[in-house]
Amino acid sequence: MPGETAAQSEPHLTIESRLEDLALLWPWAESIADIHGLPAATRFAIHLCLEEAISNVIRHGYRGELGRPVTVQFASQPDELVFTVEDEAPAFDPLDESREDQAPDASATDQIPLGGQGIRLLRKFAGSLVYQGLPTGNRLTMRFPIQR
Amino acid sequence: MQISTEELADGVTRIALDGRLDIAGASAVDLKMNVAAGSANKLLIDLKNVTFLGSMGLRSIVLPARAVRSRGGKVVLFAPGEMVESVLKTSGIDSILPIYHDLAAALAALQ
């Protein structure tokens, strides 16, 4: 229909559990950002949180198993955008603080952390995060405040 | 994601990254980053044209930096944009790999 965009007609995106499929996220999220006229910082935060959340599902939830679904739902609220990531992996709380690496110690010359940064970045860049265990999977809801 | 390497004065190797350092970008430059940093002892990683940085991209920075530091070398991060710098600071990487926005100061830190 005139004026309808991919994001308006497709408020969700399902990818398979391959890190390469994360490349599908960028244009989908960008089209949403364009529709809502989001500033660069909000776009950055959305892209970052989607990449961190979904890569966590693929690497840790599905433990690298290929061909499993990861679905991202989008919803627009008056003062926030809501992205919900759902999977069918065993119970896995990405917000579990025991997964978070300690901040690097500058006095330790070789203690540059290689991983475990995802949760720290999610907490910093998402307005809010809510994890729910589902009967057959997991749901992570991320909210990003916006100004209209 | 594009990568270029330049040898500056006083033995400084400048690696410049251009584009998104997301999972795909990191995969595209990982090997080149490690090769470029392979023999460097004074490494300046120029992030001026990096438009996105995620945790996988952090690995692309940390791995070569670790190699340089293990040889007793020095590494600095140069001119990240505001959001990229926020990622670096959130991760705590900046406490080990210092960030500079002034080139002269960055080069001085490598001496």
Contacts of B91 in chain A (CB under 8 A): 104, 113, 117, 120-121
ipTM at complex level? 0.93
CATH code of the domain covering residue B53: 3.30.750.24
> Is the CB of residue A19 less than 8 Å away from at least one CB of chain B?
yes
* pTM attached to this predicted model: 0.90
Interface contact A120-B86, CB threshold 8 A:
no
> Is the CB of residue B63 less than 8 Å away from at least one CB of chain A?
yes
pLDDT tens digits for range B22-73: 999 999 999 999 998 888 999 999 999 999 999 989 999 999 999 999 999 9
Fold that domain A12-98+118-145 belongs to in CATH = Heat Shock Protein 90 (3.30.565)
Domains of chain A by residue range: 12-98+118-145
Taking the C-alpha atoms of B78, B83, B85 and B90 in order, what is their torsion angle to the nearest 10 degrees? -160
Domain region containing B60: 2-109
Interface contact A112-B59, CB threshold 8 A:
no
